[in-house]
Every structure is written in C-alpha cells, then in structure tokens.
Structure 1
C-alpha cells in the first residue's frame, strides 16, 4: 500500500488550504485506516509506503515530523515492513542539496533501522541521475524510477542509466541488460515514445564515435587489447558486447572522421591491416566522398570505395595472368609475365635484384612510365598456413605524386605483383609527396 500527500508550504497554502497540523492529521488518519484494513487480512504480508510528496521543497523539520507521526501509527517491524519515500517531486535544487536533505532525514529519523529509506527523483533540471546517486551516498536504501526516464514532465530518473553507471564502476546493480536493443524496442512499443539516439548506455549512438581523434584512440585501444584483460578502452567505459551490441556500431564514418576510423572498419570487416600512409591516402578519398554527399558512409560503401581505389575489382586495368622468374648467375632475377593491359594481352620482361625490382623495370618499359616503389607491406589474412596474402605497394612518380595498390592472392608473390599493377593503373593521384 502506498500513501502520499503533498507537504510543501506552497501546496499546504494553495492546493489544500491547510496548516501543518491538518496535513499531519490527514496523513495519520489515512495511515490508521490502511492499517485497520490490512489487519483484517492477516494472510497477506502487507508493506506500507508513505511519501511526503514535494519533500524536496518541504521544510526538513516538518518532513521529519510528519513521517515520525505516520511511522508511529504503522509501527514498522519485520511483520509490518515500511518504506519512507522522499521524492524530488519537482527538481528545485542542485543534487547536493537533495542529498543533504536525505542525510538530515536519515540521521534524525528515530526509527531509521526499522524502515527502508527510498528516493524518487524527477528530472526537471536534468540532474535526476546525479540526485539519485548522491542520495544513495547520503544514506538512501532504494530508488524509484522508470526505464529510460519516462514519467511526468521531463520524466523520472532513468533506472537503466543508474544500473549501468554502477556496472561501469564494477558494482553489480542486480540488473542485467544482455539485449539492450530489445529492451529499448519493447519500451518504445509500450510507451509509444522513442528512446533518444544519444540516451546514456542505451541510445543507438551511445557507443558510436564519428570524430577522427576519438576513432584513432579507439583503434589503438583495440590494437593493444589482449584476450582476458580487464576492459580499458578509450571512449568506451564498458564493453558494448556486454549489453548485446556489436563492435560494428562503435566506429562510423562521416565527414568528421579521420584515417583511423576507416582503417579500423576495413580491418574489422575484411582483415586488411592498412599501413599508416595508406590509411592517410584512403581517408582523403573518404573525406571527398562524404563531403560530396553530406552523409555517413555505410560499411558496404566504404569497402566498395576501397576496392575501386586500390584495384580490388573483378578485372583490374592491369591484370597479371601468369609469370615466371629465374635467378641469373650475376645474382639478378629475370621475370617474364603475361598481362591483360587495358583490354590487350601484353608480354613483359624485366630484370632486377628481386621480383618487385624486375617487375618495376619491366612495367616501366612496357607502360613508358617512370616510377619508384617507395613502400611495400604484406601480411596473411588469417593465421592458417593456407591463408591468403595481401600486399600493399606505393609508387612515387617523377612529379612527386604517388599511388597505392593492393593485391590479394593465395601466393604472396602474385599478390605483390598485382598490387604493383594496381598502383600503376589506379585512378586519380593521391597528391602525397615524397
């Protein structure tokens, strides 16, 4: 059973037209009636809750007086449990003032050990969560609230936020949210009110970083993370997977994003660990794309752009068909290769101190184009012995411009040769200088 009546001076004067004694008499008379009715049904274990409504702007001494009078009638004990609920009916002060009021009450209430002190913060000033947390620190045992801050006006304190705040500090809130998105869907359907995308812990953007500097920090955090370690991640106070969210939503790409966000998504979804200078080059193309459309880039669009820019298409303009290499007595290597060059089958011959050197010399002669290979990186896609290899090559041209190419193949040599071909046949120059 729950009884509440307003106790603040404004309500006593304007709403009820009562003096203090009359307000106390109203609460005690109702409590006496409730106890009598409860005692007529002893088979039920009744719990009584009394709220001095408008507690937060009631004189502290009077709030204490009326609660003492009510408790005297109810006589709280194990058989007759009682909750004293102290609402911030309308937020009128900073959270520390509310906490001071709670502390004063807890220290001076004569039956403190026999009752549960509850708080009921609203969010008129936007500090409902802070008020609840400070009230608990001040001595409260219980918090009343709503999921995602539903309630009158600006709503009651959000219980999800309170629970997740505790969880993020290593305190078990006795509530779990393994499928936060599902909870949001159900609440939105029941209340016909949307949960804001940036609602703490539960909003669709709560774990999403668009800023380039934020994405860079998150990427470095994931790169450094080892299995089994305590969760410590820049900009992510909890592991999104703990509440049923995937890492895919952590980084999203728009015009604010830098090189790290795009690189992280490419690595997470496709296993490619882009060299730093390639990250920078790709970010320029992403920036142009997002600026031109004014929209966020989806993961599919990002991958499509990467493939188009660096040659990972079905039929690249320069396609390696086959090759053969032989070591010469002078320590040089000779290369013979067949290419499909812009629709025509061409033969290539080259010599150099290694496979890429020979290929570069042969391609330079074939295409009548001068260039120097400035960067080369390669790694396997996975840890199995039969995993495919990916190669990254940057070529620099006489005017100082450069292009990147990427190649993927079961054979690391073929991947490297195709990456070189893709760098030479790429689209617009990136504008990077030596």
Structure 2
C-alpha cells in the first residue's frame, strides 16, 4: 500500500440526496452507485436503512448484483439514550442491510448532547461505545463520523477528544472529523487535526490495522474543498464528499474538484488514471440522473472549464495549451473548446474550423469572410458560443459544404388559447424536398411544438432518422426589452438523438420565426451528423452523459 494512498468515500446517495430539489428513486440510486463503482470509488454510502425503508431495498438490490470495486456502506446514528444497542431498532435495520462496512455518527459537541439529545455527557460516551462494540460483535467494520467535530472541539476540547477515544476503544477503524455546519477555515482544520494526532498516538502508527483519520466537510463557508485538502495534508487518509458537491444547504465537498486536485496536483493515489478519465462523464451522468442542469463553469468537469474565447488566449493555446490550461483536459475526461463570439479573432475561427474537420488557412479570404459575418450576426443578437452547431452550419455554408436537404416555402401557426391552462396550436408548413412540394399540418401544445411536429411529419418520409431527434431544451431571451412587444428575441434550441446533444440559435422580432430558425437548423444538423463521420472536437462529439 502506498503512503500516498487516499480512500475516497462518496455520500451522494445519502448526504447529497438531502439537497433541496433532489429526490432519488431506488433505480436512480442504483444507477449512480454503478457509475461510482466504475470510477473506482472505494466506499459508497448507500443511505440510512433505519430511517428510510427505500434504502433497505436499495441494499438488498445491490446484493443481487454486487458492485465490482466499491464497498457499499450503511449509515446510522449511535443508539438512542438510555437504551441497549442490541435492542435498538435503528441498529437492527443496519444489520439487516447486510453491508460489511457501517458508518456510525455520534455527537462531538457538548451543546448537541445536552440541547439536542437531552442527555448527559457521560451517557453520550456510553452511546458511542455501546453502539460500536455491538456492531463489531456482529462482524461489522466501523467508520465513526464525529459529527460537528470542529465546533465541538473549539467549544470543549477535552470532551470532544473523549468521544474519539471512546470510539477508538470500541473498535472504530476510521475516525472521520466532520465540519457539519461548514463554518471551519483551512488553517483551523490543519491545526486541529495536528492536535488530534498528537493527543491520540494510535493515529500516528502505520500498521495495516491501525486506525486512521478521515475528513467530511460542508460548503457553508465556501471552503469545503480547501478544508478537505488541508485535512489530507495534515494527515487525513479518507476524504468524504459528493459528486458535483450536492448536499444540504450549500452542499458538501465536491469530489469532482477534490479528486483531480489531490491526485494530479498533490500526487496522492485516489483512483487509477483510467478511472480518473471517467470523472467528467460521471459528473454529467449524475447530474442527469438527479435531474439538475450541469454546472458549465464547474472546475475540471464543467463544459467551460477548458473553453477559450479571447483571441489572444486561443492563439496562445494553439501554440501550447499550457499557456492557459492548468492540466490536460483529457486526463479527467473533459475536452478543450474554442468559443466563437464577437470577441473572436482569426485564431478562434481557425481553431474552431479544425475542430469541425474543416481546413482553413489564416490568410484565406474565406476565413476573414466567416469572421466578418460572425461579428455582424452577433451584433444582430446571434450567440454562437452557446450554439456551436449553428456556427458549424454557417462555416460550412461559407465553404460550400452545407447540404441543403429541404427548402422552407412558408408556414402558418394558429393558437387556440382557452381561459383555463392549456394553449393548443395548429401549424401548417410548406416545404420542398428533392423538388417535391409538401404541405403538412400538425398540432402541438404550443406554436413551437406544433411547428416542430409539422416539419418532422413532412420530412420523415425522406429522412427516417428524424424520428430519433427530439428537443431537450428551449431558451428565450429578449434582447432589447425597451422595445416592448416589438423587441428582438433570441431563441436557443437544444436537440438530441439519444446519444449526442447540439444547440442551434435563431433571432427575430417574431418569437415564432426565431424559434423556427433554431428548430430547422437543429434538424438539419442532426441529419449532418447521421450522414458523415463527426470530427473529434465537434459539438456532436460531446456525449449526453
């Protein structure tokens, strides 16, 4: 075992699920657990079976098809005051879950003992010792989470240390110091961990069966990741956190930030390089499962984490990526993106062309023409940094490589809004395909839906693959609100074929016309995807998960 070995402990399924707006089904939890297992996370906290019957089923389902790499952990509190651990129903539920490892949390802060539990400090010590001894007698290995550790230590150092000593003597293999309220700062974490190791000499031994320290931080002060790194550098060997930093209130330490910092910057061993390369994929997969939009600007795994927009930046990165990238994005499964906007220079256009598999030269007049058209369109309200598919179509038009598979001849939309809730729409569209004029009608629950349905209905006979396409997002932005109802509108439409996603843009003073532009280009781009191999770096290479 390497002296630099760290044990990652993921609590997305329990602590992360306490985030406001997240509600996980059993199937959701199983999917996330298997993503984490592929990432090589050593410990996955599955939930609290004594408090949530759904979690019991989760543990049982995992027994049917066990994980390959990870230990699943059941979570629970110490026994309740003035009871016997062997007779406490909460602990019986833990045993029923059947996990080899269990995580037990107990009170470190005297305030919580007297005000929260309404019991004595001595009884709290008995609760810790009795609980851990009982679980050990039942063949379980125990991780002890010292809840509110840092607040408790600052309030009553001697008593807080007694709780850790009790847990050690009762058989805890891990002592995890928890910043439950998220108010500690890195220098405090460093100092307190050093003092804990000095007060408990057992923690300084290096034998395989020696007890070890862990860290569990929350982000209420915005320092969860910094606190966890400080703890590791002070001697902690287990790092607890969640994917994407999900958690109650302001969230937990973000493992998607912690793991690459610890492994790539500080040289600790968390997962294998192959598993680390799954980090971005795992982050986005979990965000999809919990039904929360990914944070595009998240460190390491965000879509914009390695995006370059300024012309000087793009030019420098083309010569040497180290100029504006702190790591190689591929090592954590992300990729470099060149962003196109009205701030772009020729370097941006050339770099973007290369990502699309288009060969342009800097002194090529076509390149300057594309840049000039880009700046004109962005001045009119188009936004290509958020709609790379539309920009690729624009670029292919400039070099005569844009196939025109259909030609729109006109459309009409009729809305029938009731005075209740629903607003139905009927769209009529006329389109020409291979010289044949088609007239189709379709209904939708709004004008954009009706237009989309009518266009698909007209084209699917010629292009059956359109049946695979669907809209995944629709954004509307009023560009000049002072113009009232005649204001110019920008519409971004995200489309998918079940494997990739791409975004297109439309701009008009007519919101339906702007929407239609984006919808049409979305279908056109999807057909382009199906008709040719997609170059590395194209927006179509970005997977859904």
Q: Secondary structure at the match of 2:307?
A: coil
The one of 219, 242, 245 equivalent to 2:318 is 219
Q: Find the counterpart in structure 1 of residue 283 from structure 2.
A: 184
1:392 corresponds in structure 2 to none
Paired residues of 1:149 and 1:159 also in contact (CA < 8 A)? yes
2:257 maps to 1:161 = yes
Alpha-carbon deviation of 1:181?
A: 4.8
Higher mean Cα deviation, 131-140 or 9-18? 9-18
For residue 119 of structure 1, give the secondary structure of its aligned residue in structure 2.
strand
Could you tell me how far apart the structure 2 residues matched to 1:299 and 1:190 are? 25
Structure 2 partner of 1:256 = 343
Cα deviations across residues 250-307 of structure 1 (Å, max 9, x unaligned)? Answer: 1121233333211211244212231399866753432222221241255554455556
What is the aligned partner in structure 1 of residue 116 from structure 2? Answer: 15
Q: Which of residues 169, 174, 183 in structure 1 aligns to 2:271?
A: 174
Which residue, 227, 236, 241 being the options, matches 1:140? 236
TM-score, normalized by length of structure 1?
0.59
Match of 1:93 in 2: 184
What is the aligned counterpart of 1:49 among 136, 143, 156?
143
Alpha-carbon offset, residue 64 of structure 1:
1.5
Could you say which residue in structure 1 is the equivalent of 2:464? none
| Among 231, 243, 248, the residue aligned to 1:152 | 248
Q: 1:117 aligns with which of 193, 210, 213?
A: 213
Go from structure 1 to structure 2 and tell me whether the alpha carbon gap of 1:301 and 1:167 turns closer, same or farther (over 3 Å shift): same
Query: Is the Cα contact below 8 Å between 1:54 and 1:88 reproduced in 2?
Result: yes
| CA drift at 1:194 | 2.9
Deviations 1:95-151 (A, max 9, x none): 221221112111221321231101101111111111000111111111111111122
Looking at structure 1, the residues matched to 367 and 359 of structure 2 have their Cα atoms a distance apart, in angstroms, of 14
Aligned residues: 289
- 1:233-382 superposed matches below 5 A: 233-247=322-336, 250-268=337-355, 269-275=357-363, 283-296=371-384, 298-299=387-388, 301-302=390-391, 305=394
The 1:163–1:200 alpha-carbon spacing in structure 2 relative to 1, beyond 3 Å, is same
Q: Which residue among 63, 86, 91 is the counterpart of 2:160?
A: 63
Match of 2:196 among 87, 96, 105: 105
5+ residue gaps, structure 2, are 1-101, 404-545
Change (3 A) 1:267 1:117: same
Shift of 1:159: 1.3
Give the corresponding residue for 1:82: 173
Q: Does the CA-based 8 Å contact 2:217-2:252 persist in structure 1?
A: yes
d(CA) in 2 for partners of 1:106 and 1:55? 14
Deviations 1:12-64 (A, max 9, x none): 4432345xxx334323344224424532x4xx4x3222222111111333321
Counterpart selection for 2:292 from 167, 182, 193: 193
TM-score (norm 2): 0.48
Larger radius of gyration: 1
Unaligned runs of 5+ in 1: 222-231, 315-434
The higher relative CO (CA closer than 8 Å, separation ≥ 6) is in: 2
- Compared with structure 1, are the counterparts of its residues 180 and 5 closer, same or farther at alpha carbon in structure 2 (3 Å cutoff)? closer
Match of 2:458 in 1: none
